[in-house]
Amino acid sequence: MRRSQVVLVLALFFVAGAYASFLPDWTGFYTVFGIGFGLSLVVPAVWRLGPKRWVYLLATLIAIFACFYVKLRTPQPQANDISKYAPLSNVIVRGNVVEAPSLTRSERAKFLLEVKEINTSGKLSVKDSRQNTENQPNAANVKPDEANKFVAASGKLYITVPLIEVTGLRSGQAIELSGRLYLPSRADNFGAFDFKSYLARQGVFAGLSGRSLVLQGDPPSFGEWWFISKIVRAHVMGAGVPEGSLLSSLVLGSRAVDLPSDLKDAFIQAGLAAVLAASGFQVTLVLGAAIAISRNSSLKMQFLIGSLCLGGYLLLTGASPSILRAVVMGFGSLIGLVVQRRSRPVIGLVITAVLLLLYQPLWIWDLGFQFSFLATFGLLTTSRSISERLEWLPPAIAELLSVPIAAYIWTLPLQLLVFGKLTPYSLLANVITTPLVSISTYGGIISGLLGIIFVPIGAAIAWLLYPLLHWTIDLAQWINTLPNASTNVGAIHLWQMLLAYALFMAIWLLPWFGKMQRWTIAFVLACVVLFVPNAIAQSTSFQVTLPAFNDVPIMFIRNQNQTVLINSGDQQFATFTLQPLLQKLGVNRIDWAISTDTQPDVSDGWNALISNSMAIAQFRDISLGVTPKPYQNLQQALANAKTPLASIKAGETITINNQVEVQLVNQSPDIIKIKTGELSWLLLANIDQKAQQVLISQKDLLPKLSANILWWTGGQIDRKILDAIAPKIAIASATSVGEEMVNQLYESKVRIFWTGRDGSIQWNPDKDFHTLRDQQDSRSPI
């Protein structure tokens, strides 16, 4: 039994225990105990040369400790936490800036604030404060004579403010900020980003949409920001924008530098996201340069210079998980250099993981942490084997190819679990750009150091790097123009990811897999586990999804590999909610796109889907007569993509297959009937009282309204129309439904859902109807 095997088992059980702690109630403890005890009985009997039984029993105790430890370290709001006051429409808070502001996609500044005081009356007068107290139950404890007074508060706030307000703002600066205090919301749609959980893992339980900001005292005159500003100025002055910003990101990471959103998206889509994140690559360059400079000095001096360089780089880039991992391993290498002992990088990596999780256990859910460790683990365990199997290539090329291939293999299962997409040209992109990025990073470090001394000198070096940076950007953009540059394969299940990693571990650990043929068989089997179950499920799935979006009815239908999308929402919703949902469902093409609205912001949603490489086979519209300019742009985009575009006439039926049909029952007001299997849906979109009276007057139309499911936008519906429909289920795509309408449906024994309360709603023949809120409520809060 090797010592490395024992350390590896203990570390993996600690990580598994940290994951299991987020299972509800005591499920995590029972799970790790059962699995650990079972492995202690089975594995030693099967793997006689592996760890003994006592190792697995000890590892089980460590996993249970990890469960308790993570729960103990999970942030909880204190008694006077700022979140206790939310929501309030007008408050003033005082505190200290935790981190330097950065840019959001909506061109606002964001940062975290350590709260010291709060004034719940905001800038209101005493009279207005009484009125505000009546409207805000949480402000009831604020007496009129206490208006405009501050009280002590604690906790952190997620702040967004207009960009102009943060000019000159530094980390550690004391400020006073006015705005709207709110509680972060949970995700409203399947597959959407859970902003509330994301902030909670950082100990943030409230946000503030700021209106004005006042500095309290002078900003810090010196700090890491001073060095960063000098470096960025030198890069941008010499290479311009966006090349100079890219150079700063190569050196400092995208967290320290605000890259344009379109440039960041281009690199991510091309599979070059790691280029923008300061990680092991940059740390290796820094440490290698430090050792090279001090190679003629004593070992202690080399250790000192290397430590100073690592520490300084850590201060500049910030303590992100990927940087901390690389820096800790760098320190391990320096210690091995001093004591003249050969280091074991895999053992160092797993020990580093455990140390960082002891420091901050919630990093277990940080994607940067996960991808960084998996990629590094792949390089340490697999790159040499891949290089040996590429012996038919020149050694330099084989080495160049083996590094990105190993990282890609080990991060692929996690990528499929989280994003459900493949970047087929990622390996090509990384191989082509590695020389450009390496030279640019070395040059950027030199340019930054010289820029700290004198900006124009650093700018001169950055100017020489401009061609390399420009070519790197062009390559990323060119990769994205290739066919199927980003392919949605669908999010895999957790068991698929774990089984794939078990096979990868077996390839690495078991000598039986040493032979080429067996190694290939195991890898092919892992690919089958990752891709085949999803392909089978997608070909047989029948599912209807109703996303939640601002009182606009949106429906996505999938059956027998045929897809139908009714409405797309606005640009932001289509980009950040609908596109990720389709991505995780493995959808690369909309067979039938149907629009019931030509409002400009709604038209932008379709434009966003097309610009994000979502193919549309057929486009149908209910009212093409009105064509505002954004809708004309959509028509042009569809024409460029050679997508047939036509309007649906009253009474026309679109037959998708034998299970799905869409019929325009009436026009003005628009009424659509949708068939999904044995169910019929009736969509009443934006039907006001006047339109309802028109419907009631058409006696021959009312019998055609009969349907199993009423789908509407939440307004009051006349009793005569409701009786004509006679629904069993009512679903409102609305933030709220009037009490009178709810009571009317309950009296008629109609089961009711609405997206504002239930979040996204799904139906399939096996599970019937289920909502996002039901799914979330069955999980742990974080």
Q: What is the pTM of this model?
A: 0.84
Phi, psi dihedral angles at 599 (to 5 degrees): -65, 145
Tokens coding 335: 């210690």
- CA-to-CA separations, 465 to 282, 323, 440, 459, 461, in angstroms, rounded: 17, 25, 6, 10, 7
Residue 591 pLDDT: 94
What band does 1 get if pLDDT is binned at 50, 70 and 90?
A: low
Q: Which of 437-441, 466-470, 481-485, 690-694 has the highest mean pLDDT?
A: 466-470
Greatest CA span in the chain, whole angstroms? 98
Q: What is the mean pLDDT of residues 477-499?
A: 88
Residue 126 pLDDT: 35
Rounded distance between C-alpha atoms, residue 386 and residue 443, angstroms: 30
What band does 513 get if pLDDT is binned at 50, 70 and 90?
A: low
Q: Is 514 helix (H, G, I), strand (E, B) or coil?
A: coil
Q: Residue 771 pairs with which residues in a beta bridge?
A: 761
What one-character DSSP code corresponds to residue 329? H
Q: Are strands 615-621 and 589-595 parallel, antiparallel or unpaired?
A: parallel
Q: Which of 121-130, 146-155, 208-217, 255-264 has the highest mean pLDDT?
A: 208-217
- Given a cut of 60, whether residue 358 has pLDDT beyond it is yes
Rounded distance between C-alpha atoms, residue 343 and residue 353, angstroms: 16
Which CATH number is associated with domain 82-221?
2.40.50.140
Rounded distance between C-alpha atoms, residue 375 and residue 275, angstroms: 13
What one-character DSSP code corresponds to residue 737? -
Q: Single out the residue of 102, 206, 91, 209 nearest to residue 163, CA to CA.
A: 102
Residue 91 pLDDT: 92
Query: Minimum mean pLDDT among 513-527, 558-572, 764-778: which range?
Result: 513-527
Q: What is the mean pLDDT of residues 737-741?
A: 89
Query: Minimum mean pLDDT among 90-99, 327-336, 409-418, 612-621: which range?
Result: 327-336
- Residues 397, 400, 403, 408: is their CA dihedral positive or negative? negative
Q: Is 683 helix (H, G, I), strand (E, B) or coil?
A: strand
- Given a cut of 80, whether residue 759 has pLDDT beyond it is yes
Q: Is 481 helix (H, G, I), strand (E, B) or coil?
A: coil
Residue 100 pLDDT: 81
CATH 3.60.15.10 describes domain 541-777: yes
What one-character DSSP code corresponds to residue 193? -
Rounded distance between C-alpha atoms, residue 549 and residue 578, angstroms: 10
What are 463-486's pLDDT values in tens digits? 999 999 999 999 999 998 888 888
Residue 565 pLDDT: 95
What band does 28 get if pLDDT is binned at 50, 70 and 90?
A: confident
Tell me the percentage of the chain whose pLDDT exceeds 90. 23
What band does 135 get if pLDDT is binned at 50, 70 and 90?
A: very low
3-state helix vs strand vs coil in the chain, percent to 5: 55, 15, 30
Residue 277 pLDDT: 74
- Given a cut of 60, whether residue 247 has pLDDT beyond it is yes
- Given a cut of 50, whether residue 124 has pLDDT beyond it is no
Residue 543 pLDDT: 92
- Given a cut of 60, whether residue 90 has pLDDT beyond it is yes
Residue 782 pLDDT: 39
Domain boundaries, the chain: 3-73, 82-221, 227-374+427-488, 494-535, 541-777
Q: Report the chain's terminal Cα–Cα distance, integer Å.
A: 39
Of residues 761 and 48, more confidently modeled: 761
Q: Are strands 174-182 and 204-215 parallel, antiparallel or unpaired?
A: antiparallel
Q: Single out the residue of 28, 156, 171, 182 nearest to residue 90, CA to CA.
A: 182
- Given a cut of 70, whether residue 489 has pLDDT beyond it is yes
What are 262-308's pLDDT values in tens digits? 888 888 888 888 888 767 777 877 777 787 777 777 778 888 888 88
- Given a cut of 90, whether residue 697 has pLDDT beyond it is no
Q: What is the mean pLDDT of residues 232-248?
A: 90
407, 378 contact by CB (below 8 A) = yes
Residue 512 pLDDT: 64
- Given a cut of 50, whether residue 132 has pLDDT beyond it is no
What band does 142 get if pLDDT is binned at 50, 70 and 90?
A: very low
What's the number of CA atoms in the CB half-sphere (13 Å) around residue 540?
7
Task: Specify burial of residue 617 (Cβ count, 10 A radius: 0-12, 13-18, 19+).
Answer: middle
Rounded distance between C-alpha atoms, residue 737 and residue 756, angstroms: 9
Tell me the percentage of the chain whose pLDDT exceeds 70. 90
- Given a cut of 70, whether residue 128 has pLDDT beyond it is no
What band does 730 get if pLDDT is binned at 50, 70 and 90?
A: very high
Q: Which of 238-242, 342-346, 488-492, 543-547 has the highest mean pLDDT?
A: 543-547
Q: How many CB atoms within 10 Å of residue 422?
A: 18
Rounded distance between C-alpha atoms, residue 439 and residue 468, angstroms: 8
Rounded distance between C-alpha atoms, residue 357 and residue 239, angstroms: 39
- Given a cut of 50, whether residue 145 has pLDDT beyond it is no
Rounded distance between C-alpha atoms, residue 678 and residue 469, angstroms: 58
Cα R_g (the chain), whole angstroms: 29
Of residues 758 and 286, more confidently modeled: 758
